A and B are shown apart, each in its own frame.
Chain A
Amino acid sequence: MRQRQQVRRLKSLVDVNAWNTDTCIAAFTILLGVVIWLLIPHQVDQPRAFFGQINQGMSPSLFPQFAAAGFVIIGGLYLLFSFEMDSHNGFADLNMQDYVGIATVLVFMTAYAVLLQPLGFVISSGLTALAIALFYGSRNIIGITIVALVAPLLIYFMFTRLLSVSLPAFPWVSS
């Protein structure tokens, strides 16, 4: 019985149609492990040896090696068991409009991160808040004014005056 199950799992490995979301994640996990393993000699500095001896008890490569091996072993097991898993893919429930909504907000967020220093916190936050509120469907002028004007100013003054930390000021104020 167990042998038959193992044969079925191995057959599923080569049958791409039998692959589900978990199978893809498992394959990616193995690949990640292999890539990390190959990167270790180039991406982990080694401590200097004094008189032929390393003065720290453990190599800085040890844990990365454990992690890489762990990715491959766990990924392999995950791959084998993935064919029998009740796979869940939340993206299947989304339609094009949902994707457009998410992509738009991600563009807003990225633009916000890029513009924070050149425009300052209050202006970049106001523009982002305005864009999100309008995109979400609000047309209430009072609500929009609160989130796009009052809130950025309050947050700016809370951090810079009450907590005494710095946020990028207005573009006309040199930092």
Chain B
Amino acid sequence: MIDLVVQASEMLLRLDVILMISAGLVLGMLVGALPGFTTVMAMAIVLPISFFLEPILGIPFLIGVYKGGIFGGSIPAILVNIPGTGASVATTLDGPAMTRNGQSRKALEIALVASAVADFLSSFGTILIIGVIAAIALLIGPPEIAAILMLSLLVIVVSSSGSFLKGMVMLLIGMFLAMIGQDPIGAMVRFDFGFNPLQAGIHLLPLIIGLFAIPEILVAMEKRKSRGLENTSSRAVGERLRLHELKRCMRTILRSTALGGMIGMIPGVGQVVAAFMGYSAAKNASDDPDKFGKGEMEGVAAPEAANNAVNGPTMVPLLTLGIPGDNITAIMLGAFVAQGLRPGPQLFQEQGVLVYSLLLSMLIACVLLLVIGYFMTPLFARIVSINRAYLLPLMLLFAVAGTYVYRSNPLDLYFMVGFGIFGYICRKLALDVTPLVMGFILLPPLEYAVGQSTLLARGDLIGYLIGSRPITVAVLILTPLLIFWIARRQSSATGAVKSEANEDAAPR
């Protein structure tokens, strides 16, 4: 492994790599700082740019957007009490109170340091363990992969917002959309409705850009009469963060890092839950919990550290098993596949140096986040109030250009608009599109793994599994139990998060 890391470092230490990560961070922070625009949307729009760069430039660029976006969301959360992204909702519990106390600069700086430190530590931990997990993953075959994929899909459904049944409906829609085109085993044409271009299937890019970027534009349009943030004064003011204050927060940051790191490895749970859990843990561990909700610095450090600590470990299921845990890693998977890299244990054997260089780029991104964030946060603070009349057309221009360039097929644009309308309807009806995207991405490998298992079984699948595949049987038996356990944990965590939010919002 040490050899791989050394070679990966040599591959990574290039000026253009550093510049692309920096560009990604700036872009991510910019979008994260704009209330209502999400990191997922930013990544969806810039995804096609990464397709046309070499992997060592394109994927670190997306990593930069990801990390910058998660931190950027804290800027409006602290300054104007509107979370820039979902991940920074918990930051609104103490961030705006610090701003009201004239400590907005301090709040932004502790958010930045907590984000960068937690992200660095969790990414470092990821690099240490991911090789071992990939080695274990190499021992498994098609039946085990099929069982793990089914388990992952169900975990994603049960972790999605809304009810299990709604999640299942969305998952099935995603799976059905993936069936359009050709089956992954014999390339038999399915559901082309006599329309030849459909035989190539629906591409991931119009689906992702349509579902994540277009609804943002439509939602912004419906609210165009109530765009209250324009002309709002949003500046970082007050004293800077002192070293003794940072030392006081370090225990909280480390605790949140551990929590966020563990949550990141579980597909589907994500930054929002991590941030609230980090906040609750900090409050419970505090000698003076009454200060929380009234402008306590640890109340900003805890959720910011926890939500950024999720970033690195989400790469574990993605790179070792090819299973994206959330929308952002689903987009990353799209970037890997477009570069001709199929995430999974084989990738570590075939492209070990490249994989480790991409993992190491996460550490560089964390250091650059600290540097760029330190100098540019005051600028991003002003961007919070930028006029959307200019941002919305820019988003659409990038969305259209990005969707078109991949195949130069105008049909993709119609798909993008169609998925955009569908995504908007889903948002209005509180239907989470995450299971749809996951179903779309994971159906082909699932179908392929089941097909291979059927061939291996030679007609007696159940006998083959029981006789020769004990791990598959164990995973299949454990799946309903695990789903039930996660659902229970999820409902109790949601209850705790709601009561936490209500409790802390009440005195203000």
Contacts and interface: CB of A to CB of B under 8 A. Distances in A.
A67 B186 contact: no
B429 interface: yes
A102 to B, nearest CB: 5
B172 A90 contact: no
Q: How large is the interface on A (under 10, 10 to 19, 20 to 34, 35 or more residues)?
A: 35 or more
A22 B169 CA distance: 11
A129 B192 contact: no
A136 B389 contact: yes
Interface in B162-202: 163, 165-166, 168-169, 172, 175-176, 179, 183, 185-186, 188-193
B172 to A, nearest CB: 5
Given A47-B188, A155-B398, A85 B169 contact: no
B188 A44 contact: yes
Contact of A132 (B165, B192, B393, B450): B393
A167 B185 contact: no
B266 to A, nearest CB: 24
B276 to A, nearest CB: 21
Given A165-B405, A167-B404, A60 B224 contact: no
Interface residues of B, number: 64
B469 interface: no
Contacts of B410: 113, 116-117
A112 B221 contact: no
Contacts of B191: 39, 43-44, 64
Interface string B418-460: 0011001001111100000000000100010011101101000
Given A74-B168, A91-B428, A146-B390, A46 B455 contact: no
B428 A58 contact: no
Nearest to B439: A67
A15 interface: no
Interface of B: 49, 52-53, 163, 165-166, 168-169, 172, 175-176, 179, 183, 185-186, 188-193, 214, 217-218, 221-222, 224-225, 387-390, 392-394, 396-398, 400-401, 404-405, 408, 410, 413-414, 416-417, 420-421, 424, 427-431, 443, 447, 450-452, 454-455, 457
Given A104-B221, A130-B393, A138-B387, 14 more contacts: A26-B165, A56-B185, A57-B452, A63-B443, A64-B179, A70-B168, A90-B427, A101-B222, A109-B396, A113-B414, A129-B397, A155-B397, A163-B405, A167-B401
